[in-house]
Amino acid sequence: MHKKIQSTFALLSLLVTASIAVPIEQVQAKPPLQLAIKRQEFRHEFIKIEALIDTLGITKGMTILDIGSGPGYASFLFAEKLHGSGEVFATDIRADFVNYIAEEAKKRGLKNLFPVVVKDEGLDDFYAGHRYDLVFLSNVYHCIDKRIEYFSRLRKFLKPNARLVLILYNQVPLFSSDDLTDIDGLLNSLSKEAGDDPFVGGLSAATRQLIKDKGYKDALRMALVGDFNRMLTDPNFYKNFYSNSYFRKELFTVPEREFANWLLMTLEEDGVPDRPAKQIDARAMRSVVRLNRLFFMKRFGDYLAKGGMGAYLPAGDANRHTSKYVMFRELDAAGYKLAEEISLSPYYDAVVMVPKTD
């Protein structure tokens, strides 16, 4: 069994155990500390948080604010990156998280890490007492109410050239090897298709040879992932199907067909059908991937994990369904502009915002 899937089952076992030991209502509202620590560690395996922090240009003496720090996974890394200088404020509404961070910081000798309990509604008064070089929120944005007001106030406490870094679930993930749950069934299905099938036609010569040989399953799995993701991000791929009435009317359910029509209309409004891929921006490319993925899930749904890794990652539904573009509009209204989007993995993105200059 794959190591990550084993980790997933282990995590599910922890969830079951926790639900036996603690009333259901309490688990839903306040997961036990040890479970929260395991969940954060598991999630950051996919976020690749260490690699992200390495790209953020952390320098000695910076003041960093980690909002919604949880048990402090990122806060510890920031404090270590500063090599004893500067200040890292790990803030959370849960006292048990904050107490855990304080104890761990003492054990690790991180004298520049300061955990703080903050109120659970609105921007806590604590934040006004400091000026920040970097503000970090990982899977937290969806938890904040009145976000425009919240981030408008927070902006006043940022230093010149400060950055607001947000991590959120990627709503249109590319495929990974973990998504190909039935490689034998997928292999059998592809081997029966004619060469003019759009999926077979999109495969590389090397992948087609692996299918023909019916061996080297690990190599085939990786080759298919590479080819599938190339097709997913091809702005012309969906055209192979969309003009076909069978795919539009017979294969799709009514909601799926309406969703596909909406995506196509969005792409046409953005002028995507007439543009080469290198000229398509990130927002439009997400619509391309969503539309192409519909055909993949319909054609190979029996052999793929439902919804990709998102079906079993430890992230709440509200997190998964937080729209990045709603977030952009809200942060724009709060006085920020987009500086950079970073793809962390097939499942998570980082967004770097900076304050607008007056």
Residue 322 pLDDT grade (very low, low, confident, very high; cuts 50, 70, 90): low
Residue 32 pLDDT grade (very low, low, confident, very high; cuts 50, 70, 90): confident
- Residue 249 is predicted with a pLDDT of 54
| In contact, 86 and 112? CB cutoff 8 Å | yes
Q: What is the pLDDT of residues 90-102, one digit of tens each?
A: 999 999 999 999 9
- Residue 25 is predicted with a pLDDT of 33
The more confident residue out of 324 and 141 is 141
34-48 mean pLDDT: 81
| In contact, 177 and 209? CB cutoff 8 Å | no
Q: What integer best gives the mean pLDDT of the chain? A: 80
Q: How far from 12 is each of 5, 38, 174, CA to CA, in Å?
A: 10, 11, 24
320-346 mean pLDDT: 82
324-337 mean pLDDT: 88
Q: How far from 168 is each of 9, 344, 349, CA to CA, in Å?
A: 23, 10, 6
Q: How far apart are alpha carbons 66 and 274 in whole angstroms?
A: 43
Residue 62 pLDDT grade (very low, low, confident, very high; cuts 50, 70, 90): very high
The more confident residue out of 140 and 38 is 140
Q: What is the pLDDT of residues 281-299, one digit of tens each?
A: 766 777 788 788 888 887 8
Residue 212 pLDDT grade (very low, low, confident, very high; cuts 50, 70, 90): confident
Residue 256 confidence (pLDDT) above 80: no
- Residue 195 is predicted with a pLDDT of 64
Q: What is the pLDDT of residues 259-285, one digit of tens each?
A: 777 777 778 777 777 777 777 776 677
Domains of the chain: 31-170+315-355 (3.40.50.150), 177-306 (no CATH)
Structure tokens at 326: 């709603």
Please tell me whether the overall predicted TM-score, pTM, comes out greater than 0.85 for this model.
Answer: no
Q: What is the pLDDT of residues 233-245, one digit of tens each?
A: 888 888 777 665 5
